[in-house]
Structures are given as structure tokens and as C-alpha cells.
Structure 1
């Protein structure tokens, strides 16, 4: 009898093979001890594209909308078809007694596994079990969880919710994107969640643009008596600001002229306590990392995923829980005992009485979802990167703080009467920091103010009157942290009290694991841009949202409230609530799409739609057909007459430099990296030829890439040039370079055009630099940021990977330890140094180009 275990990725399959002693590696799976362990590579199947249902849908046309297939079908993803075939074959193994789904324990992992089984035609649920854990997959965890398998039917609810989410997103996205793209003449995508999030960004941009600051005065009086000094701020009712500036000036004059003493009208002290913060959910961690380190949400997720999957020192990160289950009590006791010796400062204040089931802020089954909160599982290994150390420390500190005593403090409020006006003074004294020892909180002004021990009736002698001129400020620009907070708690956009209460709970816009990706999608589609820590809607994003908001039906897409309602329905399905949500949800989405398409087909479009940056790219050359300008578009290089060169040719991306040279000389290359229909790589030059009156691109196989002939072509352009003046790096003389070792690892190809990288006196540049080979200008300078690059670092950079942390030299001669990475920007390739451990930037970028 054979057992088949299906994991989500190869690395997880390795964890299972080690735990179970299944050592024999086959093509796409492990085998041994009557056990087969195979893996997916993320999603192996996807929903049909419209043209898969009918060739008539291939052309984007309003006449074919809406497209609402019945039923929806799945197809294999081409690039991973080989692994899917392996799994299909294994599912037909004679004597197969059971299949264990061990994909990630969540809605997405469930969808990955179920769609694979559906595509393979394996429907015998009696033989399918579910492996489910939030803990890192150590051998002990794997073996113990395999003894507690659950029937697959316990998770049918998650599969339904995941399937309905996919189908709903397909119906809304496919139809809406096609309709708007055809109407507006440029790619305008919409989505069930992404458009609602974009609406938040657009609203904030408009609020800030339309904001008009109002001047006001804060009036403060410095008082003194035998007990000490204090400062009182003028107030009346709940208002402390004076917007009538003339009246405020008169009040200042009167207060200044009054010499009679005032009196303390009230002196109140109140002792309070504050419980520790909750443990981290993923969104909470993303917000905190963005506030402290400026990490984008996606980066935090990736780092946390690596700490869970590779380092195995964090629990499952894609969680929306902020609590643990009661069954986790013994695990927590062991963790505290294991972690305390290496972080004594964090754990010395732990109240062991709080590591008990009576502590409902930590152990609460009623608030537990599919996974418990993010917690540390072991100490951070020495091989961890600086970013991993930052994320791990946040989780470790929050975990330790959860078991500390409450923070006890005393609030003081003084009201002073003077010249028939009232002035308030507030203060806060920390009596016992409690959990703040493990989770320090930045002190507020009232915590820093010293207030004497005043009592009602004490005299108050005026020392001076101060008027502070201020202006009202606009709402803050969105950062990842702020927009994630809005996505998690959209209650302020909801009018009904019942819905407000609901949204204060677990329902939000998107899910814990998709929110970061939604932000990146908005940036990729040029609806938003990230500048430093801030996220701002672009003109294109504003046009889309404001156009949709003028409609009667499609405006729903821009409503965070309505999107949150849809999320609520999906959440009910995921929780297994049998209230009709299953059938009603898709029917409601289908009805919305039908009405929306009717509306968008005839909607009057106002103003000129902003084109995407890629569509308004720079001119790359002159058209051979009409002499007009050829510009870079979204997927091609095109002229207004219709002449087109596609950006991808035989699997290789054509750069503007390559196309520019092709337009000038009718020949460019030869180049490596083309891919034949039989998936074999080849080299060739590109020709621009006229056939039957039409200009076409074709290959020239007579020419092969040649080694650079320095005698005929002259010295390479990067032989003596220094890096671009964009850099403020410390310059050093070019080092002498030893002859390359024949056994050395070859350098990766040029990231700009795929050409061969060759060495010059001061840098490593692309061999396609001559004009007849495309004129590629890419180069990496041998000395960057005051450091001579090693070959290992050069290989990392050319592979588009950051270097290991290394010692760089600032322009003032001070050393800085950080990483170097290559980045492709709108201005071209640049080398940049990461911020240091404190998040500070010390270097400007260095242009990776010559000439």
C-alpha cells in the first residue's frame, strides 16, 4: 500500500523526505518506504482564458462582452506542465492507498491542491487526507502532524471559498479590463479588490491636493508658584485652537497685561494600566516593519516566508490571527524556556503566571482562525541576513512582551484659571513599564512633561504668555503601513453601525496574503507609484477611479464598503456557514458584471485618458516605411503608420538600443539567447527586410557571435571612464586585475541585452557595445562605493541578486556595512547600496552605462 504526499514547493518536499527517510530522488518526486513525495511549483493549473472557450473571444471587442462561461474550466500552466504530468502519473500508481495534501495550510494552498486533483481526475475523497500545521516543518513537526491527519472534507469550505474568489475575480477583471481597454485605447485593468484599494489612494491624493491650510493660534501661559512651574494651554470646551486671529491677538494682549494671579481650578490624578499588545498577524507585522524600517509590505512577507520556510525559526506567516490556541500552551512554555537564555533582557520580566489559559489576550480559541499568530520557534541562525534579523527581532520582542505584566501609569490633568480664561496641562508618568521593557514605546510629550504636585486652590502666577502660530495640516500621504491599516479596518467607509462593528473585527479588503501583492500590482500597472515610504495614485489611476465613480453600477468597484461586503461573504463560505452564501455570491457577481458591461459599452468618456508610461516612451528611431517616429509601446515598438517590431522575438526581449540600431542599419547583432520552437537556444543577427512591400524582421544565421577584436574595434569604452557623476562614492585608483582563471565560474550575460560580459581596465561591460552589434551601453565598474568588487559579488550583481553584506566606504572615509544591488530604472541600469541597519542611506546610485 502506497501513500502519496503532495507539497506546494520542492523545498517542502525535501523537508518531508528528510523527516520520513525517503531518500531516493526521481524526476519530480522522492520515493521510498512505500511513500511517494511530489511537489507543485505554486499553481500548476489556471482558469481558462476567454479565447480557450471560443476563438471569437481572442479579439478584444465590446460585442463579445460580457464573457460568462458556464461552467468555468481549468487548464495546465505551460511552464509547469512537466511537473503536472509527473503528479498525474503518480496518482495512477497501482496500490495507492491514500493521498495526503500537504500544500500550505490556507485558502490558497487548498486551491493549488484541489485544482491539481481536479485536473488529474482524482475525485476519491475517501482516500484524500489533509496535513495541517502552522509550525515550521522540522522533522518532529512533520512526523507528529502526520499522526493527526484530517479528512479532506473538513476543508471543502476553504476550497469553495478559494474557487469562488478565483471565479469572481475572473468575471470582474476579464470583462471590466476588456471593456475599458477597448473604450480608452490603452490597457486599463480593473479588479474586484485592486480598484477599491486604488480608490483609497485616489481619494487621499485629492484630499491632499485640495487641502487649504488654515492658520490658527495656540496660546500657552507659563505659570509658577512655590511648588514649581507648569505650562497651561488655552481651551474652551473641546477647542484649543483659535482660528479668529484678530481675536486671538487681542486675547494675548489682555493676558499679557493682566498682573493678577490665577488659581488652580482642578487637579486630577488617575492611575491606569495598559495590557501588552497582541501577537502579530501578518498585516500587523507588515505595518510595523514599514513604520520602523520602511519595508514595503511585499518585502516583509518575503522575509517572513524565508524565516519560516528556510530558516524554520518563525511560524507560518500568512495568518490573520493575533492569538494562539489553547492547545499551544505547552509549546509556549517550552519556547520561553528555549529563547530566554539568548535574549535575557527581553524575557527577564516575563510573568510566568500569564503563560496560562486564563490569559485570553494570548490563548483564545474563539478568536483563532486557520493559523495561530506569528511567533518565534527557535533562535535566529547565524546565517540570517540583516533584514531577516530585523523581522525576527520584531516577532521575538512582541512574543516576549505578550507575557509581561501590564504597563502601569498615572495620568495628571490640571486646569488653571487666569484672567477669566481656562488653561489645561496634561501629563503621564510611567509607574511600572511592564511589557514596555520588551516592546519600547516612543515617549509622547505628556510623558516627558514634569508637573509639580499641584492641588485645587493653589495660586498660579503668570510668568509669560506665548502664542504659537500654526496651520492645519492635510491628511498624511499613504505609506504601506497606513494603507494596510485601511485595508484591514475599512469601518470608516461604512455607514451602517452593524457593518462598522463587523469591520472592526476580522473582515477587511483583500486577505492577509494578498494585500501586499495588490499594492505591487497597482504600481506595476502604473496606477500608483512609490516614492520613498509613500504610495501615491498616478494620473492614470485617478482617471480610472473618477470615471468609474460617475457611473451608476460600475462605481461599486471603487467602493471599499462593497468590496468588504464581498469579502464578508467569502469569509462566511470559508468558515462553513450554510446560509445560502455559496449560491448567492456568484449569482450576485454575475448579475453585477452583466449590468456593468451594459453601462460601460455606452458610457460617455470625459477628457483624455492618460496613456501609460510605456506607451509614451522615447523615440527609438525612424520608421523604414514612412519616415515617422518609432516609439516604445507596451508590447512593441510602433509607428503611427502601423509599422511594428514586437518586443519579444523568439523568446528574447529586444531592447531600445537593439531596435534603434536595427532601424538605422537594417541589421543588429548577432545575439545569443534566442529560443526555437523546439525549446533549443540559438544565436543569430536580426535583419530588417522588405518583402512584398512590407517591412519584416527575420534572422540571419550566417553570422555567429565573435570575440571582441580590440585591434579592429579599439579599446572598450569602459577602459578608462569613471562612474557617472550621479554617484557620490569615494573614488579609488583602478586596481590591477589578475588574469582570469580558466576554472572560474563564467559571468552571467548582460542584464540589458543578453550579450557576453567582457573585462576592461575599469569595468566589466557588454560585448555588444559596438554600433553594429546594438550599441549596448551596460557596464559594472570595478570599484563601487569605495570597494573593489570581487568576482563573487560581480556574479551576484549580474544575476540580479544583492551581494552579501560588505564593507563600503563613504565619501568622508567612514566605513558602512551593507549590500550592493543592481536595479533597472526608467533612466537605465544603476548600482545602489542598501540602507544601513538603521535604515539610513549613505550613497547615491551609480549609473551602469558608459559613453
Structure 2
């Protein structure tokens, strides 16, 4: 008897086959004495399309919605049907007695395999390979400890519920919006509330009104201090005259130290990375998009085998991994990490609950380096930079907390008080791993990239205590209470409150995580889908809704744009995966909600006006065309879905001139062939029998034509000269 191993990708199948000794290469599988290793190509099977249930659904009609099949069917994806057929034939072989699912160890990976098994009607035993890295050692250990396939039935049920929910809601609402407004408007269970978060921030920015305020800063020679009314005051004065009066009042006045307080503070090392935190950090530090981080990370995991399973939502490690920590440090002790890693290897590692906590790991532990020896020179610049983040975060886990003294001063000048803070680093601890350059704020990084703090830091602090941010941390001299000081100078600072910052991918990911929108594995794709559909834009690492996105969010139902409802669904999917939820009840709720969402679109009386209409008219139906951004640059697209005409936004110019304004006409390709169109007057003339270039003969053709007429046709010299001149003008204009 042989085992059939089903991997998710050809590259993974190749590695599994090598380790398992399946060395005979066939077109669609590898074979050895004990194992036959084959692969999917991502999903080979998908939910059937509406037209598979009834041909009438090929045409999108509002009256046909909602489409809610009594039973959701599966079908083979046509583009990869050859691989499905190969797997189906392998499943029928009499010498294959057991299947081993070796797709990605997660919800989507389980779905890839189970849908194939369902269509081929697999009824023999099956087991599950569940590993967190792709090293030879991990693969061998995984095959030695295969798990019963039925242990993952609940995970499969959760995956099916997620897929059917996205089909029912996304397909129906998208068809309803597109049909009603005759525009390409896409909505979905996760992407719409994500867009709503961006729109909420946009409204905050639009509604913001700056407020001027002033601060007063005193110079004491070696340091500066900020005036505040009392301990709870933020230092802001909203009257310029009052601020100038205060500065004049204390200038030259004797001052004395009123209070000195020094507190030792300890900052623990940052937790290990989960996928979302790594995407956020890579966005802030490296400028990577979430999708870029996912792609690079997948290569580090799958191709180079240098990191553990990427699609994890845990930032902790398990106790059974603790014995491997030193061997992982030995493997990464190369290049810039030699000194950092070897200093840890000389002594027992400090393994605390902050690093290892079995109760906080579900399917997969945090992302850390594997025990695979690393050749840094074999990595691309992108891979090298992302790997650096992961390695330094792993090393930092075993360093001591960072310790520093925080000194707070209160200085009195008459009835006025000035405040100052200073920091003295006592022990760099884990910050040594980063060259000691990280701010005292620690792992959170830039505040404005954190969802909860984005609004506060960007608007320079609501009243309540961020006014002191105008004073930077500074070295302070040794001072004692009662010690006299001289005010060397006093100045007023002119400020304005600032609007909330637009979201970066880092802050949007934080918001999606906070509201439980999507999973670590899907959030990057959601952002990319919004970008691809021209619903949001990215400019200088900031995201904001387009005119299309602003209108779209007003056209969908309140329920669908609410992060709360989607979060409830995600939590229920997690409960189903853990065996605590009811799949039938979940789908029944989704079906009911689908009907109400479609009904709300049908009854909505709001209008949609394309924000990117141009003055160029569609040559087929006459409607004004929209300008969109595509992979090949800007495109002009007809908004009429039934027409569907599109072309490049910058067409070539012909030698033909408009009979009205005499400007050169543009060359276009229409259903009836090439035609010339004047952008200004919209005059259209069909081009027939013209050479390449839209009706303008090339130089060689012109020369031949002129020679033919001059040599073979009896023409008066004046007519021949006129013809040559006309041809030359046509070439040069």
C-alpha cells in the first residue's frame, strides 16, 4: 500500500517528495516506494457560480436577487482542471490506501484539500500533516506524528462557513449594487467595513477645525521647562496676549526647584511577531505593503525555510519548543547577529512567561527563525530586510528589559510653575539588539500608526495631557529641591491643533485586528482588493477613499459597513473551528442577512455618480467614459456594463485633422475597426484601408506612392508636385 500526499503548491510537493524519497518525477506527481506526492495549485475546486445553477444568472438583473441556492455546489476550476483530473486518477489507484493532507496548516489549507476530497468522493482513511516550518527535520518529525484527519473536521466546517458567507453576501450585494447603479461596485463581508473605517477617518479629517494655541517655555541654561497651570494642565494657552504676558512676567524672575522625583522604569522586550504585527512593523520601518510582506515572508518560509509558519495570530511560543531555542540562535549566529547571539549562548536562556505560554497559542506559534543554517548572501534585498526584523525580534526575546531613570522636575517662579522631564539610560537590555536606537516608547513604535492613538497624536492631543509633548526628553543636571535657578530667557510657542492623520497600512491593520475584521492571512488581500477596485488609493504610504469609495459606503446597508457585525461573524467562525459554534445556525443567519441586505439596496433611493468621468465619449454607446488606473497605466472605461468598451487613456495621434477645429485626431480601436476621433469636437471618422499608425502611411509607403504617381501616371508637373507636397505634410504633421 502507498500513501498519497496532497500538498498545496508544486514547490512544497517537490520538497516533501525529496525528504520522503519519492524521486520519480511524473507530469503531475512524484512517486517513490512508499509515497506518491502530488499538489494542488492553490484552490482546484470552488463554489459553483450563479449561472451553474441557472443560465439566466449569466445576465445580472436586480429582479433575480438574492441568489440563495438551497445547497451550495462545488465545481472544478477550469484553468487548473488538468491537475484536478490527475489527482482524481491517483485517488482511484488500487495501490493507494491512505491520503495525507499536507496543504497549509490552517483554515484555507484545510479547505483546499477537503473540497478536492469531496469531489473525488474519497472514502478511504486520511491523516493530517501539521507542521510549523518547512525544514527537513520538521517534515520528518511531522510525518512521524501524523494526526487523524477527523480531528480537523471542525476547522473544515469553519472554512466552509466562511467561503459560503463570502459568496452569499459578497456576490449578492455586489450584483445588486452593480445592477441598480449600472457601475462596477463591489462590496463584501470584510472589505466593506474596512472601507468604512477609512471613511470614518476621512470624515474626522474633513470635519476638523484647527484651533490656535500658545505655550510658554523657559530656558534655564542647561535645560528647558514648559509652563503648566498645574499637574493636570497640558500647558496650552488659548489667548496669545495671556501667553505673552506670562512670558514677560517670569522673564528675569528668580526661580527655584520645587520638586525633584526620580523613578526607575523598566521596559520589557517586545513580544515575538504574529503576521499582523510583522506586517505593521514592516510597513512602518521598511515601507512594505501588507501584501508585499506576506509574499516575501512566504518565500522565507517555503523557499528558504528560514522562518516558521507565517499565517499565525499568536505572539507566543510553546513549551515543547524551548529546547530548540539555543540551536536556533546558533543557526542565526552569522553576519551582524554573531555578537548578539553568542552573548546569549554563553549562559542559560531567560525563558519567561512573556516568551513561552501554551495557553496563548492555538493552531500556530509566533513567527521565529528555524534551525536552518542561513546564507544571508542568498537572500534578495527584500528578503534580507524582512528576515532582519524577525531575527532581531527573536534575539531580543532573551535579552533583559531596558531600564532607565525618569526624572521629573517642577520649578517655581513666583506663582508660576514649569515642568521638565529627563531620561537616563541605565541598562540598554533588549535595545542593544537594535543598536540602542529605539525610542523609550518601545515596541509600539510611532504612535500615529497605532489605531487607538492615531487620532490623539495626530491632533496634537485632545485636552487631557499631551501638551507636554512639545517638550522633548532631555538630559537634566543634578538638582535638589530648593536649589535656586536663573531664567535665562522665556519664549512663546505658536501652535495649531492638527487633524487626525490618514491611515497607513500599519494603522489600518491595527484597526482591522482591533475590530476582528478578517484573519491575519486575509487582511493583506482585503486591502489589495480595495486598491484594485479603485475604492481606496495609496499615496506616500497613506490610504484614503476615492470618490468611488466615498459614494459606495453610502450606498450599502448600515449593517454591512458596521465592523461590529462582521466581528461577530468572525468570532462565530472561530467558535465553529473550536467545536463551540453551530455551522447550520451561522449559515442560516447569513442567508437571512443576505436577503435583507439586497432588499435594502433595492429600496435605496440614493444616486451614484461616477467621480472620474471624462469628456471623452464612448464610440460604441456615446456615454462619457471613466478614467481608471490599471497595471498598464490609465485606462478609459465605458461606465455602461453592457457596452464594456475600454482603451488606453492616452491614444496615439493620427495625421488626420479634425474638419472643424483642425487639430490632430486620436486613433482608436472600435468593434468595427480603427477610427479617428477629435478629443475637442468629438468628430468621428472611420479609418479604412489604412496602414499601421491609424491611417497614416509610413515613410516607405509614402515614397513608393509618390514614385508610382510620378513615374507611371501622366500628371501635370504642378499636380505631381502638389501630391508630393501633400504626402510630405501628412508625414510631418
* TM-score, normalised relative to structure 1: 0.70
2:487 paired with 1:462: yes
2:450 paired with 1:452: no
**What is the alpha-carbon distance in structure 2 between the residues aligned to residue 467 and residue 397 of structure 1?**
43
Query: What 5-or-longer segments of structure 1 have no aligned partner?
Result: 491-507, 549-553, 669-685, 687-696, 715-850
What SS does structure 2 have at the residue aligned with 1:454?
Answer: coil
2:132 paired with 1:129: no
2:315 paired with 1:322: yes
**What is the alpha-carbon distance in structure 2 between the residues aligned to residue 643 and residue 589 of structure 1?**
30
Tell me the residue number matched to 2:551: 543
In our comparison, the structure showing a higher alpha carbon Rg is: 2
Instruction: For 1:836-847, list aligned pairs within 5 A.
Output: none
Given that 2:297 and 2:383 are in contact with CA atoms closer than 8 Å, whether structure 1 keeps it comes out as yes
Given that 1:329 and 1:355 are in contact with CA atoms closer than 8 Å, whether structure 2 keeps it comes out as no
Per-residue CA deviation, residues 593-612 of structure 1 (Å, 9 max, x unaligned), is 2222222211221xx52427
Instruction: For 1:50-449, list aligned pairs within 5 A.
Output: 50-124=50-124, 127-136=125-134, 138-223=135-220, 229-236=223-230, 237-256=232-251, 259-342=252-335, 343-350=337-344, 355=349, 358-377=351-370, 378=372, 379-439=374-434, 440-443=436-439, 449=474
Tell me the residue number matched to 2:510: 485
The offset of 1:581, in angstroms, is 3.8
Which structure has more RCO (C-alpha within 8 Å, separation ≥ 6)? 2
**What is the alpha-carbon distance in structure 2 between the residues aligned to residue 367 and residue 59 of structure 1?**
49
Per-residue CA deviation, residues 757-801 of structure 1 (Å, 9 max, x unaligned), is xxxxxxxxxxxxxxxxxxxxxxxxxxxxxxxxxxxxxxxxxxxxx
Instruction: For 1:568-717, list aligned pairs within 5 A.
Output: 568-576=571-579, 578=580, 580-605=581-606, 608-611=607-610, 613=612, 616=613, 619=616, 622=619, 631=625, 644=643, 661=667, 667=673, 712=701
**What is the alpha-carbon distance in structure 2 between the residues aligned to residue 199 and residue 341 of structure 1?**
46
The offset of 1:62, in angstroms, is 2.4
2:529 paired with 1:521: yes
The verdict on how the C-alpha distance between 1:713 and 1:425 changes in structure 2, with shifts beyond 3 A counting, is farther
Given that 1:134 and 1:315 are in contact with CA atoms closer than 8 Å, whether structure 2 keeps it comes out as yes
The offset of 1:315, in angstroms, is 1.4
Given that 2:316 and 2:356 are in contact with CA atoms closer than 8 Å, whether structure 1 keeps it comes out as yes
Tell me the residue number matched to 1:561: 564
* TM-score, normalised relative to structure 2: 0.81
The verdict on how the C-alpha distance between 1:30 and 1:620 changes in structure 2, with shifts beyond 3 A counting, is farther
Per-residue CA deviation, residues 126-158 of structure 1 (Å, 9 max, x unaligned), is x1100011112x333222210000001111121
| Between structures 1 and 2, the one with greater helix share | 2
The number of residue pairs the alignment matches comes to: 639
**What is the alpha-carbon distance in structure 2 between the residues aligned to residue 469 and residue 217 of structure 1?**
5
**What is the alpha-carbon distance in structure 2 between the residues aligned to residue 546 and residue 423 of structure 1?**
49
The verdict on how the C-alpha distance between 1:591 and 1:24 changes in structure 2, with shifts beyond 3 A counting, is same
Tell me the residue number matched to 1:773: none
The offset of 1:460, in angstroms, is 2.8
The offset of 1:293, in angstroms, is 1.8
From 486, 491, 496, give the equivalent of 1:471.
496
**What is the alpha-carbon distance in structure 2 between the residues aligned to residue 344 and residue 79 of structure 1?**
48
**What is the alpha-carbon distance in structure 1 between the residues aligned to residue 532 and residue 333 of structure 2?**
43
**What is the alpha-carbon distance in structure 2 between the residues aligned to residue 593 and residue 52 of structure 1?**
20
**What is the alpha-carbon distance in structure 2 between the residues aligned to residue 291 and residue 629 of structure 1?**
43
Per-residue CA deviation, residues 497-544 of structure 1 (Å, 9 max, x unaligned), is xxxxxxxxxxx2111111111111001111100112111111111112
Per-residue CA deviation, residues 555-587 of structure 1 (Å, 9 max, x unaligned), is 1211122222221111122223x2x44333222
**What is the alpha-carbon distance in structure 1 between the residues aligned to residue 278 and residue 284 of structure 2?**
10
The offset of 1:364, in angstroms, is 1.1
The verdict on how the C-alpha distance between 1:349 and 1:245 changes in structure 2, with shifts beyond 3 A counting, is farther
